[in-house]
Structure 1
Amino acid sequence: MKNSSMTMFITIITMSVMMILNSNNWINIWIGLEINMMAFIPMIYKVKNHLTSESCMMYFLIQSMGSMILLCMILITNTLMMTEMMINTIMSNILIMSMAIKMGVPPFHFWMPEVMNKMNWIKCLMLMTLQKIPLLFTMSLINPTIIMMVLIITSVIMGAMGGLNHTSLRKMMAYSSMNHMGWMMSCIIINKNLWILYMMMYIIITIPLMMWLNYYKLYYINQISMTASTLVSKMTLLINMMSMGGMPPFTGFYMKWMVIKSFTIMNMQFMIVIMIMCSLLTLFYYIRMMSPMFLMHYSMNNWMIKYYSYKFMLTIMFIVNMIMPAAMYIIM
């Protein structure tokens, strides 16, 4: 695919996201989601092989299923012979489930690790961040129901337990994204706009990590030990992983602290305990990803290190996870 085509598809995706964020009816939201899907599929198929073909087909079928449920619910709402309260409840539940299918939220998550495992890191980054923004926005327009609480619990549990059984970094990051989706949906229950702050901080943490993984073409745990060459680089990468897991006092902890504080005020201690315990499990497999760098002896020739871009990525990770939390503490 030419760079001009890639630029065009990225522009279309960005415009579709802006269209959804500024929509005032469900039909416009559905149209924006369809445009977003049809622009993202050619980006997946940039490298033509059987793996990308499979991921394109899986992504298309799942997104089409979610869009079909959304459209059917929009069209038949006015024909249901029920009270307004019953219609609102049923519509809210079905719309939440359709968004969960499109986001890959457990128990509708089985497609997401498989699709991510067949893409490069840049496409994975887009699927984990940019593609989730319009879906979370749509979910924030719906009144929270018991279905959303169930999705939050299943997301944090499956996102934590699913990553324990894999050595593929892309699958582990997919389950990590599911766990964070549970926290973002919790933000929707607390405050309709709080998930935006959580998503912004999640993107800021994820981008330098994905840039580093893409730069070295790392796809499995056993490849990580052959990258970082100095103690400073090892510690910086470890800090970034700790931030992803929500370890205080790094940036990722402040994202989860907002949710914990709000749930405590709402007397939802049961939810807090489940979410914190699952965060500890995600922290475990983040540490498992980084442990080969510290525990294995290896050597690397100086000519294998590209200093400028390497130091730039480490600097970004350091600023995001060490300086940014101090600034946030002063603001808060």
Structure 2
Amino acid sequence: MFNNSNKILFVIIMMMGTMITVTSNSWLSAWMGLEINLLSFIPLMSDNNNLMSTEASLKYFLVQALASAVLLFSIIMMMIKNNLNFEINSFLISSMLLSSLLLKSGSAPFHFWFPNIMEGLSWMNCLLMMTWQKIAPLMLISNINIELILLLSIILSVIIGSLGGLNQSSLRKLMAFSSINHLGWMLTALLINEMIWLTYFLTYSFLSFTLIFMFNSLKIFYFNQMFSLLFESKILKFCLFLNFLSLGGLPPFLGFFPKWIIIQQLVMNTQYFILIVLLMTTLIMLFFYLRICYSAFMLNYYENNWSTKFFYDYPTYYSHMFLSFFSIFGLIFISILYFMF
């Protein structure tokens, strides 16, 4: 529907919308930035050659429009309360603001739209949904300090994100539920410190980019494709599955580094209940990641007799190896640098 130059323009406008929201000094300008971001992302989602992406873009617009309406209504109520001195419950306004932002980010219990929309998108659009589209809502959530609602959302996000991925055959839905689980960790990081959230978000974005870049290059969308493809390189297959474990936060991979920081901070603040919930749900996630990787890691793993050759260019292959190297050995290098300096 759009050529490459138009798509680049929409990406620039989308990024500008996020920057407007992050740097705004009023709720109204933050809402305007969110709307600019929304209206520029929808054309990137829709594709005339794929009815599922068109359906996904329509669902995304309806959900985000509902969240924006609630957000704008809350902002108007806040302005009426502050300027006209009306007696309106501040907790109610803040709760509506927070709920609309949780709906925009896809956190539980407002996660219902996220896996279905992810299923209809291309891998690159999935990456934008999981990373860039989370920045503006999460930065606005950091300005609303309602710990009770945030703790409820954290617990539900990590539980639903871990249990929802148990019975999935689609990689896009699995990545969606993984994103919901990681959102619980990100909200926990926001309660502690914004720098810890930034560390977690950047690490998660890098790991998601590494996996999705490999999925997109190999044209993999479902689990059975992962097992039926006979990779020309066994190293590439091992890197693909080790990146799964890194995303799940298994030490000694890079994905464990931001979780390590959060665990340390929760222990120092004696918040043991939320820590136990986070750790138990992460173990459930690691269970279904290990279930995927288990057969591929076995030395007596039987592959299909018929050969499915996958032809890829060597620059892409070396890019996979380069990204996977940092994903797998990143924590070791960070630990060495920490003890050196």
Fold shared by both chains (TM-score > 0.5): yes
1:329 is aligned, of 327, 331, 335, to 335
Residue in 2 that maps onto 1:243? 246
Cα–Cα, structure 1 residues 165 and 301, in superposed 2: closer, same or farther, change >3 Å?
Answer: closer
Q: CA deviation at 1:291?
A: 4.0
| Letter aligned with residue 165 of structure 2 | G
Mapping 1:70-109, distance limit 5 Å: 70-80=71-81, 81-82=86-87, 86-87=89-90, 89-109=91-111
5 Å-filtered alignment, 1:1-332, equals: 1-80=2-81, 81-82=86-87, 86-87=89-90, 89-225=91-227, 226=229, 228-291=231-294, 293-294=296-297, 295-298=301-304, 300=307, 304-322=311-329, 324-332=330-338
CA deviation string 1:251-279 (max 9, x = no partner) = 11011111111111111111111111100
Letter in 1 for 2:314: Y
Cα contact 2:210–2:323 (8 A) shared by 1: yes
Identical counterparts, % of pairs: 34
Cα deviation 1:121-159 (Å, max 9, x = unaligned)? 000000000000111111111113200000000000000
- Given residue 57 of structure 1, which amino acid in structure 2 is its aligned partner? L
Q: Deviations over 1:212-244 (max 9, x none)?
A: 101111110000121533332232222211110
How far 1:23 moved relative to its partner? 0.6
TM-score for the superposition, normalised by structure 1: 0.94
Stretch deviating more after TM superposition (92-101 or 41-50): 41-50
Name the aligned partner's letter for residue 243 of structure 1: S
Q: Which runs of no fewer than 5 residues in structure 2 stay unpaired?
A: none
Contact kept in structure 2, 1:92 and 1:145, CA below 8 Å: no
Contact 1:188–1:195, Cα closer than 8 Å, also in 2: yes
- Superposition deviation, residue 49 in structure 1: 3.5
Moved more, 91-100 or 272-281: 91-100
CA shift, 1:2, in A, is: 0.2
Distance 1:23 1:296, change over 3 A: farther
Following superposition, the deviation at residue 199 of structure 1 comes to 0.5
Q: 1:191 to 1:303 in 2, by over 3 A?
A: closer
In structure 2, what residue type is equivalent to 1:49? N
Counterpart contact for 2:214–2:240, Cα < 8 Å: no
SS in 2 for 1:131: helix
| Shift of residue 300, structure 1, vs aligned partner | 4.2
Q: Which of 46-55 and 269-278 deviates more?
A: 46-55
Deviation string 1:285-307 (CA, Å, 9 cap, x unpaired) is: 22233345444413646673433
Q: Does the CA-based 8 Å contact 1:52-1:118 persist in structure 2?
A: yes
- Offset of residue 53 of structure 1: 2.0
Normalised by the length of structure 2, the TM-score is 0.91
Shifted more, 302-311 versus 189-198: the winner is: 302-311
Residues 48 and 274 of structure 1, relative CA distance in 2, 3 Å threshold:
same
Runs of 4+ in 1 over 6 A off after TM superposition: none
Structure 1 residues without counterparts, runs of 5 or longer? none
